[in-house]
Amino acid sequence: MRTLPGALLALALAAARADAQVAADRDVLVDAEPAATCRAAHAARAPGCPRLVRRTAVGIELFAPVRFDVGRWVLRPESFALLDEVVAVLAAHPAGTLEIQGHYKSTGYAVSMSQRRAAVVRDYLVSRGVPAARLIARGYGEDVPRVLPITDPRNRRIELRWVP
């Protein structure tokens, strides 16, 4: 029996996990209840949810953060599996444009950093086969905080939203 190279195997596994949430009619409400379990498991860094993302009506929900090197826009390897699942969801749902929103804490270069991080995520998705025309990278800096104060680490994030 032939085995798949590591990268192809990882992509195939990500696709299999993402396909588990896609109904035949591509209903976005599939697995709506398990999302809370997945969110809680990933927040606690505990086992219990094999999925890292979920397609919703407003975007693609990430159950774990996209990780970058500190103070830089270089993706950390632990984010690859998460982003590979995003690729699988986009492949299963070939219509629609996704905005990759970069958010960063209050610093003198928040917009620049958030834009570069969003662009790196877009470049990664394109390198995995997602058409560039389906992706928009936009940096919001500190303009859309999730929590206050603005310097809270939870405000450094990547969000994926469908463009209406």
pLDDT at residue 147, rounded to an integer: 83
How many CB atoms sit inside 10 A of residue 116's CB? 19
pLDDT at residue 58, rounded to an integer: 96
| 122: Cβ contacts below 8 Å, ≥ 6 apart | 100, 132, 135, 136, 137
pLDDT at residue 35, rounded to an integer: 53
How many CB atoms sit inside 10 A of residue 161's CB? 16
Q: Helix (H) and strand (E) counts for the chain?
A: 4, 5
The answer to whether position 122 is within a domain reads yes
Residue range of the domain that includes 55? 6-162
Q: CA 118, CA 124: separation in Å to the nearest integer?
A: 10
pLDDT at residue 155, rounded to an integer: 80
The answer to whether position 21 is within a domain reads yes
The answer to whether position 134 is within a domain reads yes
The answer to whether position 1 is within a domain reads no
pLDDT at residue 108, rounded to an integer: 73
- Mean pLDDT for each 10-residue chunk of the chain (164 residues)? 40 41 37 54 60 92 93 94 95 94 82 95 98 96 84 87 94
The answer to whether position 150 is within a domain reads yes
Q: What's 103's domain CATH number?
A: 3.30.1330.60
Count of structural domains, the chain: 1
pTM: 0.71
pLDDT at residue 102, rounded to an integer: 94
Bridge partners of residue 161, in order along the sequence = 59, 99
| CA–CA–CA angle 127, 73, 12 (5° rounding) | 35
The answer to whether position 97 is within a domain reads yes
Q: What is the arrangement of strands in the sheet containing 157-162, beginning at the earlier edge strand?
A: 53-55, 59-62, 157-162, 98-103, 135-141
The answer to whether position 110 is within a domain reads yes
The answer to whether position 24 is within a domain reads yes
pLDDT at residue 156, rounded to an integer: 86
